[in-house]
Structure 1
C-alpha cells in the first residue's frame, strides 16, 4: 500500500495486520474478536501467556477453515504483540493487534498520561513493550464502557480513541459491559466526537439479549459484534441465533460480526478459539444459510477492519 504526504489517506482501504497492511478481501474467514494472550488482576490464575498453546489454538482454528483473527487485547494486558508476528508467519493465519485501554479495574499500575498519543503511536509506529519478537503496528483501538453508562475513565479513554481515530482512521472496538450502554457509547463517540458509526464495533451485544436495542444499534450503522459463544456459563448464549435471525430478517445482516472472545485458560481448555470455525460457523451455515455465513465471517470483517489509513 502506498502512502501519500503527511496527513493524507491511502488510496484504498486496508486491514492493518501484524505483518503489514492488506486488502480486506485477504482476511478470508475471520474470528472478529478473540484473545491469544491476555492477563488481568480480575482473572487471577487464568492468564493466557503461552505462545505454544496459542499456536496450537491457531492451527486448530485454521484446520477448520479459519484464516484470520482479530485480537482485542489492549495496552497493558499482556497482549504479547511481538509474538503475534511469529505466530502469523508460522501458522499462516492473519492476525490483527490492538491498542487502547480497558476498564481501570484491569490495571494495577499507573495508566498512560496521554492515551491518545499512545494510541496513535501504536497504530502508526509499533506497539510499546513488545518483550519478544517484532513490534508490529496495531490495527484497531479497544476501549470499554461501564454497566449502563460511561464513567470518567470510559469517557477519557473513548475521547482519546476518537482523537486517535481522526488522526489515523483506525476502527474503534468497544467492550459493552454485559452488552449494555450501546446508545450511550454511540452518542458519545459519534454525536459528540464525530466518529462515523461505520468505524465503531460494539462488542458483547449478545450478553444483553434486547432485540430492540440490537436493531437500533444496527440502524445506526455501527458494527454489531456477537462474541463469547464458547463460554458455556453465559446464560444468554442460547439466544445468539434468535438475535442473528432477527437482524438478518430485518435487513441488518451486513452489520453483524462473530468472534470467540476466549479470555481465560479455562475457556481455552474447554472450547477455545477453534470453536468459532469448528462449531459456530457450520451452525450458522446450517441454520441461517450459506449467504449469511459468508457475510458474517468473510464479507463483513473485510469491510469492518479495512480503513483508509492516514499516514
Structure 2
C-alpha cells in the first residue's frame, strides 16, 4: 500500500488540524509514576479531571502529556478525560532515564526491540487502549549522553523515520542540548524542527538557547520555579533574547506537573499556573501578540506533523 501523509496533531480522540490545538500546555503530566518519586504518584483520575477543569477555566484548551512507556501513563483513561473536560490531550510513547525503570523491564525492552514498541504505540495504539501516541519522549543526561540515552534516542530516530512523529527530549537540569542535536540531527538525520528540547529554563544559558533555536529545534521552557532553578524570574529575559534574535516561532511553554503535591487542586501551582502567572509575566516582557503565538501557533507547528501510514 502506498504511504499517505497528512499534517495533523495526533490527540487521544483522533487527529486534528494544528490550528485547532488552541491554548496549549506543551509539556505536562496527568499521570506519572516513578521509583524516584515515592509516594508522589499522579494516579488519581478524579484529581486529573479536576486539574483539567481548572486549566480549562483558566483558558487552557490542550495539554501534551510527556509521560512515556512504563511510567503509569494510563492511556486508557485519557479519552474520557479529554471528552469530559473539553481539553484536547496528546499522549506520548518513548522511554525516560534508566533510573525510572527496573532492570527487568529494561532487559525485556532490549530483547523485544525498543523502536518497534515506539512505532507500534504511535501507529496502532498504547496497549489495549487504542490510544495512539502523538510524540516520542526520551531523555539526556547531565551535560552529556550515557549509553541508555543513546539507545533510546537511536530507537526514537528510527521510530521518527517510520512515522514522522516529533521527538521531545528531557534535558537533565536543562543541559546537554548540543549533544542531543549532534546525535539526533547530525548522526541520525532527524530534521531539527521535529525535535523539542525540554527544560532549557533550568539552565539559563542564553547562548545555548540561541544555538538550539538557530539549529531549528523547538526550545521549551517548562515547569515553575523550584528553589534551585532560575525558572520563572529568568524566563522573560530568555524569551526576549530569542524573540529579538528572530526565533519567537521556536518557543514553547509547559507546566510539567510531576508530583501529586504540585497539582493546583492540592494547593500547588499545577496546570493553571502557566496561564495565571507565567503568561502575564511573559506578555509584559515580549507583548501580548507573541505570548499568544507561543501558546497557540508554536505548539501547533511543533506537534503537527506529516504522519506516515503504511
For 1:61-140, list aligned pairs within 5 A: 61-108=55-102, 109-111=104-106, 112-113=109-110, 114-128=113-127, 134-140=129-135
* Superposition TM-score, scaled by structure 1 size: 0.94
**Which residue number corresponds to residue 278 of structure 2?**
280
Distance in 2 (alpha carbons) for counterparts of 1:30 and 1:198:
18
**SS of the residue 2:234 aligns to:** helix
Shift of residue 294, structure 1, vs aligned partner: 1.5
Distance in 2 (alpha carbons) for counterparts of 1:234 and 1:141:
28
**Which residue number corresponds to residue 295 of structure 1?**
293
User: 1:230-265: CA deviations, max 9, x gaps?
Assistant: x44343112111111111111111100000001011
Q: What residue ranges of structure 2 are gaps of 5+ in the alignment? A: none
Distance in 2 (alpha carbons) for counterparts of 1:135 and 1:274:
29
**Which residue number corresponds to residue 156 of structure 1?**
151
Q: What residue ranges of structure 1 are gaps of 5+ in the alignment? A: none
User: Which of the numbers 9, 13, 16 marks the counterpart of 1:19?
Assistant: 13
- Contact 1:37–1:73, Cα closer than 8 Å, also in 2: yes
- Contact 1:256–1:300, Cα closer than 8 Å, also in 2: yes
Distance in 1 (alpha carbons) for counterparts of 2:280 and 2:58:
10
Shift of residue 277, structure 1, vs aligned partner: 1.7
Distance in 1 (alpha carbons) for counterparts of 2:59 and 2:75:
24
**SS of the residue 1:46 aligns to:** coil
Distance in 2 (alpha carbons) for counterparts of 1:6 and 1:44:
48
Give the root-mean-square deviation of aligned CA atoms: 1.1
Distance in 2 (alpha carbons) for counterparts of 1:235 and 1:263:
15
* Superposition TM-score, scaled by structure 2 size: 0.94
Distance in 1 (alpha carbons) for counterparts of 2:227 and 2:74:
27
User: Which of the numbers 3, 21, 24 marks the counterpart of 1:7?
Assistant: 3
- Contact 2:201–2:230, Cα closer than 8 Å, also in 1: yes
Distance in 1 (alpha carbons) for counterparts of 2:287 and 2:148:
42
User: Which of the numbers 243, 251, 265 marks the counterpart of 2:246?
Assistant: 251
Shift of residue 286, structure 1, vs aligned partner: 3.0
Q: How many residues align?
A: 300
Distance in 1 (alpha carbons) for counterparts of 2:271 and 2:64:
11
**Which residue number corresponds to residue 175 of structure 1?**
170
